[in-house]
Amino acid sequence: MTVSSARVQQHATRAAFFVPGFVVASWAPLVPFAKTRVGVDDGMLGVLLLCLGLGSIVAMPLSGMLAARHGCRAVMLATAALMLLALPLLTIASTPLSLGIVLLVFGAAIGAMDCVMNIQAVAVERDADRPMMSGFHAFYSIGSLVGATCVTLLLTAGASALAATLAAVGIALVIVAMAARAWRIDRAPQDAPSFALPRGIVVVIGIVCFVSFLAEGSMLDWSAVFLHEVRGVALQHAGWGFVAFNLAMTVTRLVGDAVIARIGRAAAVLAGGLIASAGLLLATLVPVFGVALLGYALVGIGCANIVPVMFTMAGRQTVMPESVAIPAVTTMAYAGVLAGPALIGFLAQAWSLPAAFVLVAIALGVVAVLGRRLTRP
């Protein structure tokens, strides 16, 4: 492979990460519109939103099988088409049933793309023979920030929900069209298994990703609740906790590859887990708003490079072929996003929300040690 073609593949992989982040974040500002249109209460909305996660979990192992058989490009093109078709439909679904069905399809497309883009990223990083995974994942975060911002600005300017999503679809289509030719077409060997339950080191990698994603999910769904209900922060300011977390994670991932190349994967995971654990303890135990924001930023800094390193390890381990190992790790990781907020809620109800966050901080400390053992030469 020439240097120029390698660079084209690297840029195309960044685009593959940007697109699902952009598309799923474009849906986030539209949730209140959908709730009003179909006429559901908070409980039913939660059930409907669960369809998105369910679709993702089901599609991930299936997408790995398809990528092994047909190559990454074919699967990513199909899933990109599906998610871009589903996004406008989310703005016109008029009944709970129709919205749930579209969310299921939308979630399946997002989950499949998330899985296969990591298979592509592992191959591209291996060809480059240098850390690149954190930078790839940074573009998912950038896509999320751009998508949510663009749709929010369009809605603020008076555009309808359908018009805003059609504009988002147009932007995503241009990016897909520019990148797709450089998405990989290589397939797994014919004798490679198309599906297998995770085992050995893959299970441990999945556990590390599960805890890291659980922490991310808890920041998304519970940081504002904690600041408002426990710390007494005004509701209109409580969202700054997640902003601090998300911005810190995005910036850290942009520089993460250089940091990993300098200090090594083992040190990066150990330091990341300990920083995230300390940050969450700081935000939870010190009753000062500014300190809480610093703590949430430290959680973002700490978690930023753990999952990218784990995906690299999933591609390098020899217990399972990467075509089945990466879907297994991806499914376990995203189970953390889905199960995490609910688990935090159960723990908060049984004890308290601060106690639940302390347990997550302890789990991040365990992840630091586990991850270091996995990544030591």
Select from 149, 182, 215 the last residue of a domain. Answer: 182
Print pLDDT tens along the chain (377 aa).
565 688 999 999 999 999 999 998 888 788 888 888 998 886 787 778 788 888 988 898 899 889 888 989 999 999 999 999 999 999 999 999 999 999 999 999 999 999 999 999 999 999 998 999 999 999 998 998 888 888 888 988 999 999 999 999 999 999 999 999 999 988 766 555 555 677 889 999 999 999 999 998 888 778 888 898 899 988 778 888 888 898 899 999 999 999 999 999 999 999 999 999 999 999 999 999 999 999 999 999 999 999 999 999 998 888 888 878 888 898 888 888 777 777 888 888 889 989 999 999 999 999 999 988 887 66
CA distance 110 to 21: 9
**196 occurs within a structural domain:** no
Select from 182, 215, 236 the last residue of a domain. Answer: 182
239 and 343 belong to one structural domain: yes
DSSP state of 333: H
Of 27, 29, 122, the closest CA to residue 83 belongs to 27
112 and 221 belong to one structural domain: no
Read off the tokens for 287: 């009753």
Cβ neighbours around 193 below 10 Å, total: 12
**68 occurs within a structural domain:** yes
267 and 236 belong to one structural domain: yes
**348 occurs within a structural domain:** yes
58 and 23 belong to one structural domain: yes
289 and 229 belong to one structural domain: yes
241 and 360 belong to one structural domain: yes
151 and 216 belong to one structural domain: no
171 and 256 belong to one structural domain: no
**370 occurs within a structural domain:** yes
228 and 160 belong to one structural domain: no
Of 131, 64, 148, 92, the closest CA to residue 331 belongs to 64
Residue 52 is part of which domain span?
3-182
Looking at the 3D structure of the chain, how many domains does it have? 2
CA distance 326 to 314: 6
176 and 140 belong to one structural domain: yes
Select from 182, 216, 236 the last residue of a domain. Answer: 182
172 and 228 belong to one structural domain: no
124 and 223 belong to one structural domain: no
Of 172, 47, 65, 58, the closest CA to residue 108 belongs to 58
**244 occurs within a structural domain:** yes
**267 occurs within a structural domain:** yes
The structure's pTM equals 0.83
**209 occurs within a structural domain:** yes
| CATH code for the domain in which residue 86 is found | 1.20.1250.20
Alpha helical stretches, state H, the chain:
3-27, 31-38, 42-70, 72-89, 96-128, 133-156, 161-179, 201-225, 240-263, 265-285, 289-303, 306-316, 322-350, 353-375
Do the Cβ atoms of 186 and 71 come closer than 8 Å?
yes
**193 occurs within a structural domain:** no
